[in-house]
Amino acid sequence: MHILDFEKLSLRDINRTLQDANKHSSFSIKNPKGSHALAVGINKKMDVNVVGSVGYYCAGMNKFSNIKIEGSAGPGLGENMMSGIVHVTGDVSQYAGASGHGGNIIIDGNASSRCGISMKGIDIIVKGNVGHMSAFMAQKGSLVVFGNAGHALGDSIYEANIYVAGEVASLGTDCVEKKMTKKHQNDLRKILTNANIAINNLDSFKRFGSARSLYNFKVDNAK
Amino acid sequence: MTKKPITYPRASHTFDAYTNSEIRRAAETGIYDIRGGGSKRKLPNFDDLLFLGASISRYPLEGYRESCNTKVTLGDRFSSNPLNLAIPITIAGMSFGALSAQAKEALGRGASLVGTSTTTGDGGMTKEERACSKQLVYQLLPSRYGMNPDDLRKADALEIVVGQGAKPGGGGMLLGQKINDRVAEMRTLPKGIDQRSPCRHPDWTGPDDMEIKILELREITGWKVPIFVKVAGSRPYYDVALAAKAGADVVVVDGMQGGTAATQEVFIENVGIPTLACVRPAVKALQELGLHRKVQLVVSGGIRNGADVAKAMALGADAVSIGSAALIALGDNDPRYQKDYEKLGSTAGSFDDWHEGLDPAGITTQDKRLSKRLDPKLGGRRLANYLNVMTMEAQTIARACGKNDLRNLEPEDLCALTVESAAMAGVPLAGTSWIPGA
C-alpha cells in the first residue's frame, strides 16, 4: 500500500498520483484535513483509503475505484460518479451522489439535504437519516435510507426508486408511495448484498417513486 | 338623412393583434406559449452605435492590404492548453436533442474550417460532434445530462453554464416530440416526456461553492483545459466579477437576444437585459479586478455581422459567440421552405416552434426525414463562409478606425444614435461629447 500524506504533498500531487497509478494499486491518504476535490476523476480499479475527513467533491466523477473515507465528507461526495464504490464511515453534507450515473455510495452516518439529487443510475445507501429534498429530480437508480427522510422527499422524481425504513417527513411533488412488490424486495436485497450489508428482514422498508403526473404538459382544447 | 360622422377603426396599442391572439391561445390551451429563439421585441442593440472612421485626427489603415489581426487566445489564465482561435467568433452551446445530429456536425465542420471553436449543449457530447470539431467546448449544465468524465477529458475547454440570455434564472426545456431513443438514452430520461431541466446546479449554489467546483474540474482535467463560466445578462457587473473571482479563465455573457431551443415566450421577452447593456458593466468588473484581457470576455446574444463583432470588441469583449445566426447560415428559416412554414402556421423568417420538432430546414428536429434535408458538409461550408464574411467585415471597420488588431478597437471609436444606447454603451451621443450617466 502506498501512503500519500497531505503534510508532504499537495492536492495536485496526490490527485495526479491517483489518476496516473496502475490498475489494482492501493493507497492510503493521511491528513486530508477537509481538503476539497480529493481523489477526483480516478479512472481505474484501485483501492483508496482516506484516513480523516474530506471537504467538497471527494471522489467526484469516480470510475471503477473503491474509495473509503474514514471520517466525514463535505458537499458533493461522489458527484457524477460512473462506477466503483465510495464508502464514508461518518456523516456527509449536501448533494451526496449528485447526478451519479452508476456505482455505489455507502454512508454509515447521516446525509444532509439533497442526497441523490438528479441521480442517474447510482445506488446510494444511507444507514442514518437524509435531509430535505433528497432524490430531487432523481432519474434512475436507488436511494436506500435506513433512518428517516426529511421534507419533500423525491420531489419531481423520474424513474428512480427510494426505499425508506424510517419516517418520511413529507413527500415532494409527484412523489408517491408505491407497492413494495417481490421484485422490488429482491432489487433492494441485491443492492444491499452488493454493498456487503446483511439484512434479513426488509419489511420495514417502504418504496417511493414517481406518480408520473409531471411527465408531460397538460394541454386543454377549449375550442 | 344626415350621414353620421365616423372615425377610423382604432386598434389598441395595448391590446394589439399579437396580444389578442396570445390571449385566445392561452384561453384555448391552458398552457403558456413555448417557443425557440431569443427576444423578438425591439431592443436597444448594436445598430444604435456607429463607428467614427478615421479622418484627419486619426489615420486609417489601408483597407484591403494592411494586416489586421483576428486571432485570439481564450483561457490562458490558469490552463496550460488555452484555445487559440483564428477568429474571435465562436459557436455557442446548442444541444444534440434540440438540434439534429446533422446540424451539430455542420456546426463543428464550419467552425473547424475557419479555426474557431464550437460548443456542446444540454445533453452531452456526440461522437459526430467531437469528430468534426477541432476545438470543442464541453458544457457543464445544471441537468448534467450526458455528463461523464470520459467526454470531459476529450474536451478542449469546459464551460460551466450558470445561465442563458434567453432565460436568466430558468432551466432548459425539451419537449417530448424530440425525445427519441437516442436523446432519451443520452439524458437517462423516459422517451417522450416533456423534459424541463433544473435551473440550478445540483452540487453547488453560490460563488464560493463555484470556486471549489472549478477546482474539482481542474483537478479532474489536470489543469490543462480552460474553464469558461457562462452567465445570462442580468447583473453582468456582479456576475462577471464573481465568476472571475471564482477562478474562471473566460467569462461568457449572453444577452437577452440570445436564443434558446425552447422556453416560455413570457420568459424570453421579459427577463434579462439586452446584450448592448451587458458589455460595459462586464468589462468594468474585469478592469476593477485588474483582469481585463487576462480573463477573456466573450459576448453573445443577437450577434449578426462583422459590425456587431467589431462593436462588441470595441466595448471591451475579447470575442463573441453566435448561435441563432449560425443556424440561419445553415438554412434555418430559409424562404425556400416557405410553403412548409405556412403549413405549420408560420412564415420563413418568423418560424420559432423549434420545440415541436417539425423544422422544415431539418435543423431543430430529430425527425429522420426532415433532418436529412441538411447536408452537414454543405452546411459546414456555408457556416464557414458566413464566419469568414463576418471576420472580413470586422477587419474592414477596424482598419477604417486605424486598428491593426480587432482587439485594439476601443469605446473611443464609437458614438451612439440614441440617448439610451449612449447610456448603455457608455459612449457619447453622436455629434456630442455627452455620455448619459457618466
Three-state SS for A20? Answer: helix
Report how far apart, in Å, the C-alpha atoms of B108 and of each of A116, B103, B160, B250, B376 are. 35, 9, 20, 21, 9
User: Across the interface, do B213 and A57 touch by the CB < 8 Å criterion?
Assistant: yes
User: Would you place residue B195 in the very low, low, confident or very high pLDDT band (cuts 50, 70, 90)?
Assistant: confident
Cell numbers 454509515 correspond to A108
Report chain B's C-alpha Rg in angstroms.
Answer: 22
What's the pLDDT at A223?
A: 74
Smallest CA–CA distance, residue A83 to chain B, in Å, is 11
Count of CB contacts below 8 A, A vs B? Answer: 115
- The alpha-carbon gap from A198 to the nearest alpha carbon of chain B, in Å, equals 30
**Per the structure block, which three cell numbers stand in for B401?**
478606425
Report ipTM for this prediction: 0.97
Cβ burial of B343 (10 Å; 0-12, 13-18, 19+) is exposed
Q: Looking at the complex, report in whole angstroms how far the Cα of residue B203 sits from the nearest Cα belonging to chain A.
A: 5
Q: Where are the domains of chain A?
A: 2-210
Residues of chain A under the 50 pLDDT cut:
none
Strand order in the sheet with B296-300: B89-91, B319-322, B296-300, B250-254, B227-232, B157-161, B136-140, B118-119
CA distance A201 to chain B (A): 32
Fill in the amino acid letter for B218: R
Full-model pTM: 0.96
CA distance A125 to chain B (A): 18
| B54 lies within 8 A of chain A by CB | no
Residue B1 has pLDDT above 70, yes or no: no
The identity of residue A58, as a single letter, is C
CB neighbour burial string for B275-307, b if at least 16 within 10 angstroms, e if fewer: bbbbbbbbbbbbeeeebbeebbbbbbbbbbbbb
Nearest to B210 by CA among A101, A76, A222: A76
What pLDDT band is residue B438 in, cutting at 50, 70 and 90?
confident
Residue-level pLDDT at B4: 86
> Which helix or strand (DSSP H or E) is residue A12 part of?
helix A11-20
| pLDDT tens column, B179-192 | 888 888 889 988 88
| Local structure of A184: helix, strand or coil | helix
DSSP-based three-state secondary structure for A14? helix
Say if residues A17 and A42 touch (Cβ distance below 8 Å): no
CATH topology of domain A2-210: Pectate Lyase C-like (2.160.20)
Instruction: Classify residue A149 by its DSSP letter.
Output: B
Name chain A contacts of B216, Cβ cutoff 8 Å. 36-37, 40, 56-57, 60, 76, 79
The Cα of B91 is separated from the nearest Cα of chain A by a number of Å equal to 27
Q: Is B189 close to A41, i.e. CB distance below 8 A? A: no
Q: What is the pLDDT of residues B300-322, one digit of tens each?
A: 999 999 999 999 999 999 999 99
Chain B residues in contact with A118 (beta carbon < 8 A) = 143-144, 198, 202
Q: Please check whether residue B206 touches A, CB under 8 A.
A: no
Confidence of residue B160 (pLDDT cuts 50, 70, 90): very high
Contact indicator for B158, B117 with CB cutoff of 8 Å: no
How far apart CA A136 and CA A139 sit, in angstroms, is: 9
Cα–Cα nearest to B128, from B94, B158, B157, B96: B96
Place of cell 489564465: B77
Q: Which residue has the higher pLDDT, B121 or B174?
A: B121
Given an 8 Å threshold on Cβ–Cβ distance, is A56 in contact with B188? no
Q: What is the pLDDT of residue B177?
A: 84
Q: With a cut of 70, say whether residue B416 has pLDDT above it.
A: yes
Cα distances (Å, whole numbers) of residue A6 to A28, A61, A65, A85, A112: 11, 21, 20, 23, 27
CB contact under 8 A, B215 and A80: no
Contacts of B190 in chain A (CB under 8 A): 158-159, 215
Inter-residue contact B282 to B236 (CB < 8 Å): yes
Domain B36-425 has CATH 3.20.20.70: yes
Q: What is the mean pLDDT of residues B354-370?
A: 95
* pLDDT in the model for residue A220: 82
User: What CA–CA distances, in Å, run from B276 to B268, B272, B323, B328, B438?
Assistant: 16, 12, 17, 21, 16
Interchain CB distance below 8 Å, A118 and B144: yes
Res B173: pLDDT: 82
Closest residue in B to A62 (Cα–Cα):
B149
Q: What is the pLDDT of residue B349?
A: 95
DSSP 8-state code for residue A57: T
pLDDT for the residue numbered B313 = 98
User: Rounded distance, CA B375 to CA B370, Å?
Assistant: 11
Whether B266 contacts chain A with CB within 8 A: no
Q: Is-contact B35 B368, C-beta < 8 A?
A: no
CA separation for the pair B295, B338 (Å, rounded): 44
Q: Write the Ramachandran bin of B391: left for phi over 0, alpha for psi from -120 to 50, otherwise beta.
A: alpha
* pLDDT computed for residue B197 by the predictor: 87
Using an 8 Å CB-CB cutoff, list chain B residues near A159: 190
Closest Cβ opposite residue B149 in set A12, A61, A139: A61
CA distance B214 to chain A (A): 10
Which cell numbers in the block locate residue B90?
A: 465562436
Q: Are A148 and A164 in contact (CB under 8 A)?
A: yes
Q: Is B213 at the interface with chain A, CB within 8 A? A: yes
pLDDT (tens digit, 9 = 90+) per residue, B47-97?
Answer: 999 999 999 998 999 888 899 999 999 999 999 999 999 999 999 999 999
Which set of grid coordinates corresponds to residue A66? 473503491
Q: Determine, for residues B212 and A56 on separate chains, whether the beta-carbon distance falls below 8 Å.
A: yes
- CB contact under 8 Å between A36 and B29, yes or no, is no
Q: Do residue A76 and residue B204 have CB atoms under 8 angstroms apart?
A: yes
Element (H, E) at A13: helix A11-20
**CB neighbours of A67 closer than 8 A, spacing ≥ 6?**
A39, A42, A48, A49, A50, A58, A59, A84, A85, A86, A87
Q: Could you tell me the pLDDT band of residue B178, with boundaries at 50, 70 and 90?
A: confident
